[in-house]
Amino acid sequence: MKVELRTNSCVVTRETNDKRYYGTRNAAGESALLYAVKQALNSQGYDFVKKRMWRDGHMVDDMQQYLRERDVRGQRCLAIYNRSFAVEGANDILNREGVVRLTVTDIGTGEATQ
C-alpha cells in the first residue's frame, strides 16, 4: 500500500498483493484501513492516532473514525478522514477502484500554547 500525504488530501493506493478491507458493521473495514494508513504514515515520521471523531467533540456519526496528529498543543494538527463516510466506506472505494482520496484538514488552533 502506498500512502501519500498531500496538502488537502491523503492518497491511498492499493498495490498488487495488498490486503483488502471488508466490514460494514461498526465501520470495521474503514477502521482496519485507517489503522493501516496510520501505520504507514507513522513509519514516514508522522505521529498520528486513530480515534472516533465524536470523542474529540466533532458533531458526526458516532461510528466515524479519523486520524489526527497526537500533539494538539502546537500550531498545526492535521486530521485525515473520509468525507463521504455517510455514503460509502473508504475501504469499499479502495477495494473497487484501487485508490481512495481521504480529506486532510488542519484542525489546530493556529496559536502556539506555552
The domain spans of the chain are 2-106
Would you put residue 46 in left (φ > 0), alpha (ψ -120 to 50) or beta? Answer: beta
Instruction: State the pLDDT at residue 71.
Output: 73
CB-side neighbour CA atoms (13 Å) of 36:
20
Average pLDDT, integer, range 24-28: 85
CB neighbours (10 Å) of residue 112?
A: 10
Q: Which strands sit side by side in the sheet containing 9-13, from one edge to the other?
A: 2-5, 9-13, 99-106, 78-81, 65-69, 48-52
Tens of pLDDT, residue by residue over 29-69, are 999 999 999 999 999 999 999 988 766 767 777 788 889 99
Which residue's entry shows cell 477495494? 95
Instruction: State the pLDDT at residue 109.
Output: 67
pTM higher than 0.85: yes
CA dist., res. 90 & res. 100, Å (int):
7
| Rg of the chain on CA atoms, in Å | 14
pLDDT > 70 in the chain, percent: 88
Instruction: State the pLDDT at residue 110.
Output: 59
Across all residues in the chain, what is the average pLDDT?
87
As beta bridge partners, residue 65 has: 52
Report yes or no: 34 and 66 within 8 Å, Cβ to Cβ. yes
For residue 92, is pLDDT > 90? yes
Instruction: State the pLDDT at residue 20.
Output: 93
Instruction: State the pLDDT at residue 75.
Output: 79
